Amino acid sequence: MNDETETKAKLQNRSLDRGIDVLEALARHGACSLADLNRHTGLAKSTLRRLIGTLLERHIIRQSLTDKLYRSNVIFPPGSDAPQALELTMLVDRAMPHLVALTRKVGWPSDIHIVEGSKMRIVDSTRPLSPYRLNHGFVNRVINIFGSASGSACLAAMPDAIVAEHAKQTAGDPVWGLRRFDMSLDTYLERLETVRTQGFGLRLSNYLGETVLDDGLAAMAVPIFVNDWPSGAVTLVWPRTFKSPEEFSESFLPDLKKAAQTISNAIAGKQSAA
């Protein structure tokens, strides 16, 4: 190896080491700003900007629209139940441009949720882009799979046996299980039949979200598919006092379904129908 080649190899290895430092910081500390990464890694901000640009381009990390923080697409931040597959996190990159377009068309904000065990996790939102002053929610918040619109949309796209397994895993849990809503599995499966018929999921009427106070919002959701499995959902969110779910769906469900189908096609590498 000549001197020039050796020097180049050392520079590439140093860049790789620094990129790994960034990923380790995100894995250890969770979502980070540029200043956070500077503090955690000791790397100059100019160096971090170059590394972040490459990591974003390769879909190894992402920057959330809601809070502008960087998150790893390889490992969930601390507190997560399980590692997150790269294919699943790339769903966010495929989804966000279409959700931005959806919000610009209809005005109402859209959230993207993923299935995580027997819960749902909010991974990004277009709420900052909406002209309506809804609370911005909390990226990375875990929510109840049975009570949420996104959860019911995903569960309705799964076989009943899988839904039963989720109910079994959370049996008796007053926060994450059906016990929270005083519902039996049979009653919930009947509700899912309604979801399948209407073509979208809604919040249970007695599910007020995971905030301390009632957030006053309604949500509808349709699933998005990774490898033909409902791995997440996209939502539209509006104040409950604005319109009933039936009225809202008449106006906005076609646009929501089209966005979800476009995202699923993009993940599968298919062309969307015109």
Residues 36 and 146 in one domain: no
Any domain includes 68: no
Q: Answer whether residue 212 is part of any domain.
A: yes
State whether 24 and 111 are in the same domain. Answer: no
**Buried b / exposed e across 190-221, counting CB within 10 Å, b at 16+?**
ebbeebeeeebbbbbeebbbbeeeebebbbbb
> pLDDT band at 56, cuts 50/70/90?
confident
State the pLDDT at residue 198: 93
Provide Rg for the chain, Cα atoms: 20
Query: Where residue 77 falls among pLDDT bands split at 50, 70, 90?
Result: very low
pLDDT band at 109 (very low <50, low <70, confident <90, very high): very high
The answer to whether residue 219 sits within a structural domain is: yes
Count each helix (H run) and each strand (E run) in the chain, helices first. 8, 8
Give the chain's domain count: 2
Give CA–CA dist 131/109, Å, rounded: 9
The DSSP line for 136-161 is ---TT-EEETTTSHHHHHHHHTS-HH
Instruction: Please check whether residue 76 lies inside any domain of the structure.
Output: no
Q: How confident is the model at residue 89 (pLDDT cuts 50, 70, 90)?
A: low
Pair (122, 36) in one structural domain: no
pLDDT tens across 116-171, in order? 999 999 988 898 889 987 776 677 789 999 999 999 999 999 999 999 999 999 99
pLDDT band at 88; cut points 50, 70, 90: low
- Do 96 and 217 share a domain, yes or no? yes
pLDDT value of position 3:
53
Check whether residue 231 and residue 157 sit in a common domain.
yes
Section 108-119 average pLDDT: 93
- Per-residue pLDDT, averaged over 231-250, amounts to 93
- Full domain range(s) for residue 227: 86-268
Asked if residue 63 belongs to a domain, the reply is no
Asked if residue 199 is part of any domain, the answer here is: yes
Lowest mean pLDDT among 60-69, 96-105, 214-223: 60-69
Residues 74-89, mean pLDDT to the nearest whole number: 50
Whole-angstrom distance, CA of residue 7 vs CA of residue 9: 5
E strands, 69-118, are 70-72, 111-116
Any domain includes 114: yes
Q: Do 106 and 191 sit in the same domain of this protein? A: yes
* Amino acid letter for position 71: R
Residue 205 reports pLDDT greater than 60: yes
pLDDT for position 12: 54
- pLDDT category of residue 2 using cuts at 50, 70 and 90: low
If asked whether residues 156 and 257 sit together in one domain, one would say: yes
Q: Find the CATH number of the domain harbouring 102.
A: 3.30.450.40
Listed ranges 70-79, 86-95, 114-123; the one with the highest mean pLDDT = 114-123
Assigned domain for 67 exists? no
Please give the model's pTM, rounded to 2 decimal places. Answer: 0.75
The CATH number assigned to the domain holding 17 equals 1.10.10
pLDDT > 90: what percent of the chain? 53
